[in-house]
Amino acid sequence: MGGAKVVVYGLSTEGYAIACQMAIKGADVYIIDESTPSAISLKAEIAKTYPNVSSLKEDEPLLAMEPIDTAISKAQYLFFTPRIRKTGQDIKTEIHSKFKDATTSLKKNSSVIYTLPAGFGGNNENISLLEHVTGLEVGKQISYFYYPLEDLNQQPKFIGSFNGKEDSVLADLLTTGKKEKKFVAISSSEHFHAINVLSRFASLSSILEVCRYVQDDITKNDLSSDDFQEIFLDNMISGLFDLKSLGSSFESANTLMYLINGSVKGIDGYIKKLIDEIRSTLKKNDLKASRTKIALSWTLDQHEMRGDKIEMLQNLTSRLRDYIGDVEAYEHPNSDLFHSDKTTIIVACSKIDFENIEKNKQDANIIVIKANPLCEIIQ
């Protein structure tokens, strides 16, 4: 495996993590930042020194580069890991356009590893596009694999492969620890991914919907001691992109669509509940909207492949501004938040943000709302 030529298209968190893993294993890795015209050479020592994209970008070490087309034309393995920031109908167009850019210069006997969620049948479209762009036939002159990356701590167990064909070099590159990767047919890997995504959202929806019915303080208090109170808005949105890509695989109403739509509605319902809780907090505390500031504290990873969280934060900010003029989003709650002439309602959108707020909170005019299923209020 040592020296396998690998190109990772997209300087995303997930793409960089997998590039580092392969560089440390001895592969010859180039990573492409879509906003620059060159492919960056990623050596093992750089991978060990800079554990994530932010640290690499902050320090800007001098790295060897070569033109993107040259790097791709030499690649044995091309990993497609772009950052997607469009929404709605534009997503597909953006993905297809980037996929064309990434694969145009590929040569015979190379392999493409697609790491975005593709829903059901989405890989068939990708395969047709790949054949059209390269003029090579998948399964004969070029290979295609499906490996939907989501959680950095837990990569997929299966590699979807055209005709279920195995590739021992790819398996070595992607294996971490003792557990070897198993190759399955692409349609099988689509189904495994769907089961993972739906299981998680079905469980989440059940919690969110039941918590919407909690009215009295005693029940709220009893339930708030449970583990699910550690689920924040940040966790709720993880994988929403995958869920929606499953939803766009179907034309007709069926039970799966009810599950998918129910989960999406569950999150919309939760956002409405959170906004209602913020408004009722103003009422209960006799706070005038003009004398109140809302601080949404959500430390986001700007380099993630999926843009759902960034989009949700923008959506929440604009909806809250319909009621209160002074609404700001904060990456890290700093001391400025605690020195305002207004009463500040801080909404903690992730566990890490909540812990930071608790650590830095001073005796000031501050109310904290945990963006968890019960929207707990801490004064």
Q: Are residues 254 and 176 in the same domain?
A: no
The residue-averaged pLDDT of 368-374 equals: 94
Q: Which two tokens stand for residue 30?
A: 């180039």
Q: Are residues 97 and 45 in the same domain?
A: yes
**pLDDT over 80 (residue 337):** no
Number of domains in the chain: 2
**Which band of pLDDT confidence, cut at 50, 70 and 90, is reported for residue 92?**
confident
192: in domain: no
Over the stretch 258-276, which tens digit does the pLDDT of each residue have? 999 999 999 999 999 999 9
CA 223 vs CA 112, 214, 227, 266, 372: distances in Å: 47, 9, 9, 19, 12
Q: Are residues 131 and 222 in the same domain?
A: no
234: in domain: yes
pLDDT number for residue 363 = 64
200: in domain: no
Task: Kindly give the interhelix angle for 308-321 and 255-284, rounded to the nearest 10 degrees.
Answer: 40
Q: Are residues 361 and 223 in the same domain?
A: yes
Q: Are residues 146 and 219 in the same domain?
A: no
Q: Are residues 175 and 274 in the same domain?
A: no
Per mean pLDDT, which range of 110-114, 251-255, 311-315, 338-342 is the poorest? Answer: 338-342
Q: Which of 162, 183, 204 is the last residue of a domain?
A: 183
Q: Are residues 69 and 162 in the same domain?
A: yes
Q: Are residues 164 and 236 in the same domain?
A: no
Name the residue range of residue 249's domain. Answer: 212-378
pLDDT number for residue 65 = 92
pLDDT number for residue 59 = 87
191: in domain: no
CATH code, domain with 88? 3.40.50.720
197: in domain: no
Q: Are residues 236 and 363 in the same domain?
A: yes
CATH code, domain with 296? 3.40.50
* Sign of the dihedral defined by the CA atoms of residues 292, 318, 116, 73, in that order: negative
304: in domain: yes
**pLDDT over 90 (residue 299):** yes
125: in domain: yes
CA nearest neighbour of 142 among 158, 157, 129: 129
The residue-averaged pLDDT of 300-313 equals: 93
The residue-averaged pLDDT of 192-214 equals: 93
**pLDDT over 70 (residue 335):** no
d(CA 320, CA 101): 39
Over the stretch 37-59, which tens digit does the pLDDT of each residue have? 889 999 999 999 999 999 998 88
pLDDT number for residue 309 = 94
374: in domain: yes
Q: Are residues 145 and 263 in the same domain?
A: no
Q: Are residues 285 and 146 in the same domain?
A: no
Tell me what the pLDDT averaged over the chain comes to.
90
Q: Are residues 332 and 369 in the same domain?
A: yes
**pLDDT over 90 (residue 90):** no
Q: Which of 183, 202, 222 is the last residue of a domain?
A: 183
pLDDT number for residue 217 = 79
